[in-house]
Amino acid sequence: MKRIRQIKKTMKSKPVIEGAGVRLKRVFGNPEVPLFDPFLLMDDFHSENPEDYMAGFPMHPHRGIETITYMLQGAVEHQDSMGNRGVIQAGDIQWMTAGSGIIHEEMPKESKSGLWGFQLWANLPAASKMMPPRYQEVLAKDVPVVTPKAGVTVKVICGQVLEAKGPVRDIVTDPQYLDFSVLAQTTYEYDVPSGHTVFAYVVSGEAFFGEEEHMGSCEEVLLFGEGDTVKIRTSDAAVRFLLISGKPIKEPVAWYGPMVMNSQAEIQTALQEFRNGTFIKSGRSVGQEDRLDRQKRER
Ligand code: FE
């Protein structure tokens, strides 16, 4: 008998100001550690007003984590210390493993359709925290879409649904990142690896989640308890939600802004290295210096 997972906790996204003054909504973050292990944080940035997002996220470091950005609308221009630069647009995904260290900037572009996207932080286990940084960018056209049942459509970003394998591969915590759309009057059960942390984030509409049919509505996150399968049932409304799962790391978390390590000593080392210019272990040494150069040129 399959065990249907119950809902363990629900939360509504809360407004926060991040980066150089970007107004966004935090789905979960530091206060929730270790509830969403291996995930540390999720942000929902959604606005039609450029004043909310144009300040962006100028050059900043990351160490010890992976960041996954999934865009629904608008575009974000980025560049980093590995020499990557480009623009991620609606439907595109950027999966960045900071590992030993990366310095990057993420600057939204003004868009008539507004800006809408999600950034998820996945933790790295101690053995991988100092791995070489890497970067995967996936275009919207390369994300497979499957229909496992009438009325259910899934964009497979990471993980596997039926024969469709998501284009994001080889991630340490074995995550699944699925974008579900379910029509009204539909019931669906989806098997998830037992022992993995699983949560749903409602993007639009509403549905009943879990064995006890907890109502989840827009901008709400629902964390599932232990079990084999997640159950979703829609009534008169359709729903779109992200279903995300990953293998818990179960290690101590020492978190300082964009750096997440296992101990305070490792955080102190990271800060010291950032100050004395030895933070980047592999990749080009762009970063603060590049930004200063550009500012000089622009003057
Ligand atoms: Fe960042």
Residue 185 Cα to ligand 1 middle (Å): 39
Q: What is the CATH number of domain 7-250+280-284?
A: 2.60.120.10
Distance 80 CA to ligand 1 centre (A): 10
φ/ψ of 298, rounded to 5, equals -75, -20
Residues linked to residue 121 through DSSP beta bridges, in sequence order: 41, 67
> What is the distance in A from the centroid of ligand 1 to the CA of 34?
21
Peptide bond into 252 cis (omega under 30): no
Distance 133 CA to ligand 1 centre (A): 13
The residue to which tokens 């020492």 are assigned: 254
**pLDDT digit string (tens) for the chain, length 299 residues:** 899 999 999 999 999 999 999 999 999 999 999 999 999 999 999 999 999 999 999 999 999 999 999 999 999 999 999 999 999 999 999 999 999 999 999 999 999 989 999 999 999 999 999 999 998 899 999 999 999 999 999 999 999 999 999 999 878 898 999 999 999 999 999 999 999 999 999 999 999 999 999 999 999 999 999 999 999 999 999 999 999 999 999 999 999 999 999 999 999 999 999 999 999 987 654 433 444 444 444 44
Label residues 268-293 b or e (16+ Cβ within 10 Å = b). ebbbebbeeeebbbebeebbbebeee
Its pTM surpasses 0.75: yes
Instruction: Give distance in angstroms: CA of 283 to centre of ligand 1.
Output: 16
Classify 270 as helix, strand or coil: helix
The answer to whether the peptide bond before residue 175 is cis (omega within 30 degrees of 0) is: no
Residue 39 C-alpha to ligand 1 middle, in angstroms? 15
Distance from Cα 193 to the centre of ligand 1, integer Å: 29
